[in-house]
Amino acid sequence: MNRQEKRTAREMLRQGFTLIEILVVVAIIGMLGAVAVPAYMNYLADARIATTRSLIGNVDVAVKSYNMKHGKYPESLDVLTQEQSDGSEPLLEGEPVDPWGNELKYERPSKGRPRITSFGPDGEEGTEDDITNYDTKGKK
């Protein structure tokens, strides 16, 4: 076996990765995933909350528009999704549903403006994750 053949044999043995190298790469990918997945899930949760705030704001504007046009607040949100009595387009497209698939709650008090509420991620009324147009956290 000459020198050229020995070098070729050595190079052939060294062509692949060692088990240690593969394990190091897998460990690095695992650590990146352990950091990235929770951050992404938090981002999605924040995006759903922001989308709900925007939806509630749009519904609030539609309710105020109805009030300006008819001199009273609507009895329910269904009125806003139907063609108006003067033949104009509906003020809302379809039923307002939050990103968790729950319909918004509409309460029309005897005085003051109506309250529009999403029950948030847990879907339960009266918990601290509820989102409303009366939001006291200053995040409207």
Output the tens digit of pLDDT for each of the chain's 140 residues: 566 666 666 666 666 788 999 999 999 999 999 999 999 999 999 999 999 999 999 999 999 999 998 888 998 898 888 887 777 888 888 889 999 999 999 998 888 889 999 999 998 988 888 999 887 554 44
Residue 132: enclosing H or E segment and its boundaries? strand 131-132
CA distance 3 to 22: 31
Per-position DSSP letters for 70-89, written without gaps between them: HSS--SSGGGGGS--TTSPP
| Residue 84 φ/ψ region, left for φ over 0, alpha for ψ in the -120 to 50 degree band, beta for the rest | beta
User: d(Cα 119, Cα 66) in Å, to the nearest integer?
Assistant: 24
Residues 6+ positions from 58 with CB-CB distance below 8 Å: 92, 96
Note the pLDDT of residue 136.
Answer: 53
The reported pLDDT for the residue numbered 138 is 46
The pLDDT of residue 140 is 41
State residue 5's pLDDT score. 61
* Residue among 122, 119, 45 nearest 132 (CA): 119
The reported pLDDT for the residue numbered 89 is 86
Contacts of 91 (CB under 8 A, 6+ apart): 62, 65, 66, 80, 81, 84
The pair of structure tokens assigned to 73 is 């607040």
Q: Write down the pTM of the prediction.
A: 0.73
Closest to 74 in 3D by CA, of 82, 2, 5:
82
The predicted pLDDT at position 91 comes to 87
N- to C-terminal Cα distance for the chain? 80
The one-letter code for the residue type at 52 is T
CATH superfamily name and code, 20-132: Glycoprotein, Type 4 Pilin (3.30.700.10)
